[in-house]
C-alpha cells in the first residue's frame, strides 16, 4: 500500500493530464469528412434491428427539440465542436448497425443496473431499441441453453464486427475456478478470451473490469485482474467508475459508430473525453475550496452550507472523471451533491487507496511551488486554486461544461 503522505505529495505536484480540446480546423475538417463517409457506408448496411429512432422518440413523446438538446450535450461530452451535432444525430440513428455483446464476469451487476437507469432522451430507447444488444445475460428473453445458442450465433454472425462489453473482473487464482460459466464450466478467463478473439473492440465497463475493482482489494483472495491485464492484440477501452456512467458507455459506442474507431485514450486506456479532467475541476463546491471553506466534520455548519468536502476525505482532486458534469441517474445527483466526498472510484486501486474515511488533508505535503512541507491547511488554500493544480485541465473542462467565456480562456 502506498503511504498517504507520499501519495498526496505526488498528487499535488504532478502535472495535469491536459486534454487537447481544440485540435485545429484542419483536424476537425478531415474528421468530419471521415465521419460523413463512414456514416454513409453504414447507412447502406442492413439494420440489425428494424427500428427508426425518430419513430421511437415520437411514440415515446420525445420531441425533436429535446432530442437535439441531447445531441448537442453528447457532442460536447465527446469533445467535438458543434458542427458535429448533425453527424452525432445521424450516428444515433445508425447505432443499430453495430452489434453489442455484453458479458458479466466477477461482478455485482452494478453497471447493468446503471445502464438500465439511463434514459435521456429515453435512452432506454436509444440503447434498447436502437443499439443492437445481441446478447446480455440479464436482459434477454431466452435463458439456459437457448441463451448459449444465442451467444454462439451472435459471435458467428458478427465475427470481427461486434463490440464486446465486459462487466466484472477476472479471477485468475485456483486455475480460474473462482468463476465459471455455462454448462461446461468454462472459466471466466476462458470465456473472456473466446469472446474477445472475434470482437472488433472490447469495452471494459466499471472499475472491476478495468482495474480489478473491489474483488482485487487486498489480499485479493481470488487474484482478480482487469480485462487489459489479459487481452492482447485487440483495442481495449476502459470505462472505470463504480458504477461506470452510462453516458460514457453511450459515448464510446457513438464515437465508434461515428468514426469506426475507438476514441482517443489516456495511458490507462480511458477515453479522454470522459477522463481527461478531474472531478475537482468542475465541482459545484469548488468555490468553497478556493475560498478555504471546508466541512470540518459531518453535520457541522459547513456541511449544512455545502462547503468543500476535502477535509472529510473527498478525493475529487485526485480523481479523473466527468461525473461532476454529467452526474448520475440522468443528472439527478452525484455523491458530492448529496454531501459525501468522492471516493475516487474510477482510479486504479481506489479500493485500497481511497476508501473514503481517510482525509488526505492532514498529510504533510510539499507545496507545488516548492518550499517546506506543510499540511494543506498550513500552506494556505490560495495555493491550491486553479493556478496550482493545473489551469490547463481546469480551463479545458470548463469549456466543455460551457462555463467559461472565450476571452477568459484566451488569457
Partner 1 sequence: MKTVDLVERIEGEAKLICSWKNNKVSDARIDFLNFRGFEYILEEKSPLDALIYTPRICGICGQAHLKATVEALENIYENINEKIEISNKAKLLRQIGLNIEIIDSHIKWFYLFIMPDIIKLNSSDLGIYAPLKGKRWLEACKTASETIKALAIIGGQWPHTSYMNVGGVMSDPTRMDLINMQNYLQIAIDFFEDSVSGVSLEDYLSFDSLNDLEKLDKDMKYFKDLCFKYHLNVYGKSHNRFISLAESNLFRSGKIKQKIVNKIDLSKIAESNEYTFSLNEKENISKKHTWSKLVTYNDNFFETGPLARAIISNRRFIKELHKSFDDSVFTRVMARVDEMAFLINDTKSLISQIDLLENSFIKPKISLNDIEKASGLSVVEACRGSLYHKIDIENGKIKAYDVITPTVWNLGPSNKKEKGIAQKAIIGSPNIEIAKIVLRSFDVCSVCTTH
Q: Which of residues 241-300 bind partner 1 (CB under 8 A)?
A: 242-243, 297-299
User: Are residues 359 and 311 in contact, defined by beta-carbon separation less than 8 angstroms?
Assistant: yes
Residue 211 CA to residue 306 CA, distance in Å, equals 32
343 contributes a contact to partner 1 by CB under 8 A: yes
Q: Grid coordinates standing for 371?
A: 518550499
351 contributes a contact to partner 1 by CB under 8 A: yes
Residues engaged in binding ligand SF4 (CB under 6 A): 107-108, 110-111, 167-168, 206-208, 213-214, 242-243, 279-280, 283, 285-286, 289, 308-310, 314, 316-317, 336, 341-342
340 contributes a contact to partner 1 by CB under 8 A: yes
Pick from ligand SF4, partner 1, none: which does 310 bind, CB < 5 to 8 A by kind? ligand SF4
Torsion angle, alpha carbons of 79, 81, 84, 86, to 10: 110
Pick from partner 1, ligand SF4, none: which does 401 bind, CB < 5 to 8 A by kind? none
Residue 133 CA to residue 100 CA, distance in Å, equals 5
* Distances in whole angstroms, Cα of residue 365 to Cα of each of 2, 56, 273, 292, 294: 14, 55, 30, 17, 18
- DSSP, res 309: -
Q: Grid coordinates standing for 84?
A: 458535429
Among residues 100, 203, 214, 384, the one that binds partner 1 under rule CB under 8 A: 214
The CB-of-343 to ligand SF4 minimum distance in angstroms stands at 11
Return the number of the residue (35 or 295) whose C-beta is nearest ligand SF4: 295
Residue 158 CA to residue 306 CA, distance in Å, equals 50
2 contributes a contact to partner 1 by CB under 8 A: no
Of residues 108-167, which lie at the interface with partner 1 (CB under 8 A)? 108-114, 116-119, 122, 124-125, 128-129, 133, 137-141, 143-145, 147-148
Tell me which stretch binds partner 1 (CB under 8 A): 103-111, 254-262, 374-382, 399-407.
Answer: 103-111
Of residues 317-336, which lie at the interface with partner 1 (CB under 8 A)? 327-330, 332-336
The CB-of-281 to partner 1 minimum distance in angstroms stands at 19
Report the 10 Å Cβ neighbour count for 108. 17
* Distances in whole angstroms, Cα of residue 329 to Cα of each of 114, 163, 227, 280, 349: 8, 24, 26, 20, 25
| Annotated binding-site members for [4Fe-4S] cluster | 108, 208, 242, 280, 283, 308, 314
Amino acid at each position: 500500500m502506498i503511504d498517504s503522505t507520499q501519495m498526496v505529495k505526488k498528487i499535488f505536484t504532478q502535472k495535469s493530464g491536459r486534454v487537447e480540446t481544440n485540435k485545429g480546423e484542419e483536424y476537425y475538417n478531415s474528421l468530419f469528412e471521415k465521419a460523413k463517409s463512414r456514416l454513409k457506408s453504414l447507412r447502406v448496411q442492413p439494420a440489425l434491428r428494424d427500428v427508426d429512432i425518430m419513430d421511437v422518440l415520437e411514440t415515446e413523446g420525445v420531441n425533436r427539440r429535446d432530442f437535439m438538446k441531447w445531441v448537442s450535450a453528447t457532442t460536447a461530452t465527446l469533445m467535438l465542436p458543434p458542427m458535429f451535432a448533425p453527424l452525432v444525430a445521424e450516428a444515433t440513428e445508425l447505432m443499430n448497425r453495430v452489434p453489442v455483446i455484453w458479458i458479466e464476469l466477477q461482478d455485482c451487476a452494478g453497471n447493468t443496473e446503471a445502464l438500465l437507469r439511463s434514459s435521456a432522451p429515453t435512452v432506454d430507447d436509444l440503447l434498447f431499441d436502437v443499439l443492437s444488444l445481441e446478447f446480455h445475460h440479464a436482459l434477454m428473453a431466452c435463458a439456459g441453453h437457448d441463451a448459449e445458442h444465442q451467444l454462439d450465433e451472435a459471435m458467428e454472425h458478427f465475427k470481427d464486427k461486434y463490440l464486446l462489453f465486459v462487466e466484472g473482473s477476472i479471477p485468475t487464482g485456483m486455475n480460474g475456478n473462482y468463476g465459471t460459466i455455462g454448462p461446461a464450466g468454462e472459466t471466466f478467463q476462458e470465456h473472456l478470451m473466446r469472446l474477445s478473439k472475434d470482437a472488433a473492440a472490447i469495452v471494459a465497463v466499471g472499475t472491476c473490469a478495468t482495474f480489478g475493482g473491489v474483488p482485487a482489494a487486498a489480499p485479493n483472495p481470488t487474484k482478480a485482474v482487469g480485462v487489459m491485464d489479459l487481452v492482447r492484440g485487440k483495442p481495449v477501452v476502459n470505462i472505470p467508475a463504480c458504477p461506470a456512467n452510462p453516458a460514457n458507455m453511450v459515448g464510446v459506442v457513438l464515437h465508434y459508430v461515428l468514426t469506426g474507431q475507438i476514441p482517443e485514450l489516456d495511458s490507462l486506456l480511458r477515453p479522454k473525453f470522459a477522463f481527461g479532467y478531474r472531478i475537482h475541476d468542475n465541482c459545484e463546491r469548488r468555490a468553497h475550496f478556493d475560498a478555504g471553506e471546508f466541512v470540518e466534520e459531518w453535520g457541522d455548519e459547513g456541511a449544512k452550507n455545502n462547503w468543500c468536502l476535502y477535509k472529510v476525505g473527498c478525493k475529487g482532486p485526485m480523481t479523473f472523471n466527468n461525473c461532476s458534469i454529467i452526474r448520475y441517474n440522468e443528472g439527478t445527483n452525484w455523491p458530492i451533491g448529496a454531501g459525501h466526498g468522492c471516493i475516487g472510484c474510477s482510479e486504479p486501486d481506489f479500493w485500497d487507496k481511497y476508501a473514503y474515511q481517510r482525509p488526505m488533508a492532514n498529510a504533510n505535503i510539499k507545496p507545488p511551488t516548492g518550499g517546506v512541507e506543510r499540511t494543506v491547511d498550513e500552506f494556505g488554500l490560495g495555493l491550491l486554486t486553479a493556478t496550482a493544480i493545473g489551469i490547463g485541465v481546469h480551463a479545458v473542462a470548463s469549456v466543455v461544461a460551457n462555463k467559461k467565456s472565450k476571452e477568459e480562456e484566451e488569457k
